[in-house]
Structure 1
Amino acid sequence: MPIRLSLMFLALTLVVTGCASPVRCDEDREEPYMDPLTGEPLDMEGLAPRESRSERFRIPSEERADRSRANPCLAQAPRIIPPPTPVDREMEEGTAFADLRYRLEIVEDDDFRERAEASTIRLRLGGTTPRVRGFDAGVAFQTTQLIGEPRFEDTTGRIGDFPVVRDPLDTGVSEGWARYISREGVFEAKIGRQSINLDNERFVGSDSFRQLEQTFNASTMRIGQGEPVRFDAAFISRANRVLGPNHPDRFAAKADTEATILEYNQVFGDRTMGLYFHNMRFTDERESHRNLGLRFHGRLPWSETLDFRAEYAHQEALRGEGPERDQSYTHFRLSQNREDWRWFVGREHLSGDRQDAFQTPLASLHTHNGWSDRFLVTPDFGLIDNYIGVETQRGEWDFEARYHDFKLDAGSSRYGQEFGLRAGREVFGELRLDLKLSHYDGGDPEFYFGDDYAGNSTRIWIGLSARFEP
């Protein structure tokens, strides 16, 4: 059981038959909190509620408290309990978690004679310190290990003749940060190695589908958590990539950068407007660039069920480094939520001119442009991704199916098409089963530099995961 490290004891009294007390319960069986020294009711105004915690390091809330103990009018006997207290007058409890995930990934690719079979298991342990006057710290350790024989190329170049599976073996610290959160939770500042996920992770994300997540050595600030207006700022000095620190390409392993990320979001009813500015300078000068973008997403004004997304971004060279010509990005999406299912359709366009293309090197890459990982780097001919999909819930199972049609921007040909299926459910309490399949059917390679997008491939994932928070 968690232990309260600091309590400000307040007493409450109960009037029952045979008990002498000046306190009386009203018709709703409620009574004010009383000051045990003066006997006067406490002024509860200004006592801030607890702010919501991050999903990654969740601090237990008061929801599990016995409400009968909190109100003497409902208890069998008088209790001594603390009332709600402001965040800056309280020491919050620390947390701990254990995350275990096993995955079998099978890949058949026309470009390889052998079939890849990657059987890996990942263990992640971590938690946060108690929060004192708004300050706390968090740390997470992870290890990914192989089960069985290595029958896949993990991108390090040690095993050839097999298709690539982007889950290299690794052991180390995945996160380590210190943080301050203001009393009302409106202001948050964090420094250290951390996970950063902005909006739909198209530009900055942790790519959490992979066994080794992408984390950032960064200083971040957020103003307006849960408010109609929110401002995010981050300065990133290094991106720790999902390919692991042992990848022979330095940029693919640890991308050293001087990246400034600024994002402003404002809510207008059921719709949100976002304005963002990314100044990304990498030691690999080819990847340096500047983004300026605008997006709108939310509920369509004339509908109760239709949602939309409309986004435009402009990318240009940064101080003479990066693309020679300016590039653009557009994304249009329409979706509808029904009773127990949801459909969506969209078009994502990353421009290219046969020499350069719009790039998003710090994104959650597996999430976008199909699950076959064919377009982790945008081809120089650009990419147009027309997609459609449906999600549904049937009993304990959740399902998703999606189709992508990939076309060139600088040309009239097609890269190929992809069909994906996903299913998952909770089993045995804390354990979750996930099944996923992606089939890519390549097109005509005549217009490409090489045949990276011409072959067919099929990927199958079978995963079991469990997370424990004592």
Structure 2
Amino acid sequence: MKKIHALTLASAISAAYASPTIAEEASSITEALKGGDVTLSLRMRYEDVTVANPVAGEKDGTADLLSLKTRLTYVSQDFKGFGLGLEMDDVTHLQDYEPEGAGIGDPEGTEVNQYYLSFKAAKTTAKMGRNRILLDNQRFVGGVGFRQNEQTYDSFTIQSKDVENLTLFGSYITAVKRIFGEQSAAGVHDTQTVLLNAKYAFNDAINLTGYYYDIDNYSKADFSTSTMGIRATGKAGGFGYEAEVATQSESGDNPAEYSAGYFSANLSYAFKPVTISGGYESLGTDEDKGRFITPLATLHKFQGWTDVFLGGGSGNVEGGINDIYFKVAGKAGPVKLAAIYHQFDVNDSDQTGFDSFGSEIGFVVSGKVKGVGLSLKYADFSADEKAENYKDTQKLWLTAAASF
């Protein structure tokens, strides 16, 4: 199977080299390097976390942190189709970090976030090195961009839009640089991962995506999975929808033997400046043999902002998760507002002995003042009294960001 994937990527590369380059380019390597774009971005954030202690009289878990992410990005001009990119990130704690029974996933450190050599021909781009990979809505593969230290991938990637309305993507990943930083034991996962994704846009109302993701994780074998699925999205007359179904089994040296499913559906309606939406998402299990996991996803974006269901980075927990949610979003002048409610139920209560994990409410207010992005975000998870291993959790974020 790995040989077939390699041939598929090789064929795509050959097609890319056979196509003429049409974009404007530098006339020399020196001009390409001197004419590159340099961007400096800063993001300061204060985060406060409270985790309730269910034992009467015992102290709640707390953590708070003021941090600053500084990012310097350089992207060269292209020369004969070739270009390069380099991005450095530094995360600094602006106060002493002294958590007690809670945690915040923004470690200090300076790292190379991206470095890559790219080649462009017509509407095909190939990259080799460390780069950002964001597929679809990041439910299965993303960058966890909300955290101060982004998740990036040591990989070879290729994306082609040479066929009208069709986007083809392929990637071979050798390492995942996770949000915990390279100094952490959990900060780097060595892998042999193949990602294949194809999207065809019939029209505004129908977009279909098919994908196959095979993860062979050498650093954490139980994250090794083989996932295949299909996704449909579209908009018409103010209505929007998303629907997705996938199936997953073990891969590589994963000691489990299982087959589990995923299902998601969302419907929205926009009547400017307000959009209302609701949806259902289910991450299933195969009894106690295994469960559907998403170890490369932007997990903070899903199943509530308190991150109660991270599952050690797997994105699922014992019993599986059924998430019913409703969201209202809108604008008041330059200010964006959104509120969301989640009801979290157990997918297979035979494994847990209870039916509900609890519920969560969240809201966010954001806008810009003189080029500085400002946001206030809050989430409150209330655990069901029968879900003894889950605790009431509140999180607050105050963020200011700017780019130069």
Distance 1:433 1:320, change over 3 A: closer
Contact map agreement 1:323 1:357 (CA 8 A) in 2: no
State the SS of the aligned residue for 2:222: helix
Name the structure 2 match of 1:262: 196
Contact map agreement 1:316 1:322 (CA 8 A) in 2: no
Name the structure 2 match of 1:38: none
Where do 5+ consecutive residues of structure 1 fail to align? 1-46, 51-85, 153-160
Alignment partner of 1:461 out of 363, 372, 397: 397
Contact map agreement 1:289 1:323 (CA 8 A) in 2: no
Task: Kindly tell me the number of residue pairs found equivalent between the two proteins.
Answer: 365
**Whole-angstrom CA distance in 1 between matches of 2:210 and 2:310:** 24
Contact map agreement 2:26 2:78 (CA 8 A) in 1: no
Deviation of 1:355 after TM superposition, in Å, equals 4.1
AA aligned opposite 1:199: D
- Note the 1:206-221 alignment, pairs <5 A: 206-221=143-158
State the SS of the aligned residue for 1:132: coil
AA aligned opposite 1:176: Y
Corresponding position: 1:174 with 2:139:
no
- Note the 1:190-205 alignment, pairs <5 A: 190-205=127-142
Contact map agreement 2:221 2:252 (CA 8 A) in 1: no
Deviation of 1:336 after TM superposition, in Å, equals 1.2
**Whole-angstrom CA distance in 2 between matches of 1:227 and 1:458:** 47
AA aligned opposite 1:296: A
Distance 1:344 1:49, change over 3 A: farther
AA aligned opposite 2:401: S
Name the structure 1 match of 2:17: none
Corresponding position: 1:273 with 2:208:
yes
More contact order relative to length (CA 8 Å, sep ≥ 6) = 2
Name the structure 2 match of 1:386: 324
Alignment partner of 2:306 out of 369, 372, 382: 372
- Note the 1:338-377 alignment, pairs <5 A: 338-352=271-285, 353-377=287-311
* Higher percent of residues as helix: 2
Larger mean Cα displacement after TM superposition, 217-226 or 327-336: 217-226
**Whole-angstrom CA distance in 2 between matches of 1:147 and 1:115:** 18
Give CA-to-partner distance per residue, 1:227-260, whole Å, 9 cap, x none.
Answer: 401110000111111112233xx3x311111000
Corresponding position: 1:137 with 2:70:
no
Larger mean Cα displacement after TM superposition, 164-173 or 322-331: 322-331
**Whole-angstrom CA distance in 1 between matches of 2:374 and 2:139:** 26
Corresponding position: 1:330 with 2:230:
no
Where do 5+ consecutive residues of structure 2 fail to align? 1-19, 54-58
Contact map agreement 1:108 1:459 (CA 8 A) in 2: yes
TM score, norm. by length of structure 1: 0.74
Name the structure 2 match of 1:99: 41
Give CA-to-partner distance per residue, 1:61-98, whole Å, 9 cap, x none.
Answer: xxxxxxxxxxxxxxxxxxxxxxxxx5587976410000
Distance 1:327 1:407, change over 3 A: same
**Whole-angstrom CA distance in 2 between matches of 1:201 and 1:285:** 22
**Whole-angstrom CA distance in 2 between matches of 1:382 and 1:144:** 34
TM score, norm. by length of structure 2: 0.86
Alignment partner of 1:165 out of 82, 104, 112: 104
Name the structure 2 match of 1:22: none
Alignment partner of 2:333 out of 395, 406, 411: 395
Name the structure 2 match of 1:439: 380
AA aligned opposite 2:80: R
Larger mean Cα displacement after TM superposition, 236-245 or 111-120: 111-120
Deviation of 1:375 after TM superposition, in Å, equals 1.1
**Whole-angstrom CA distance in 2 between matches of 1:226 and 1:344:** 33
Contact map agreement 1:414 1:444 (CA 8 A) in 2: no
* Higher percent of residues as strand: 2
**Whole-angstrom CA distance in 1 between matches of 2:386 and 2:84:** 51
RMSD: 1.9
State the SS of the aligned residue for 1:400: strand
Deviation of 1:343 after TM superposition, in Å, equals 1.0
Corresponding position: 1:313 with 2:252:
no
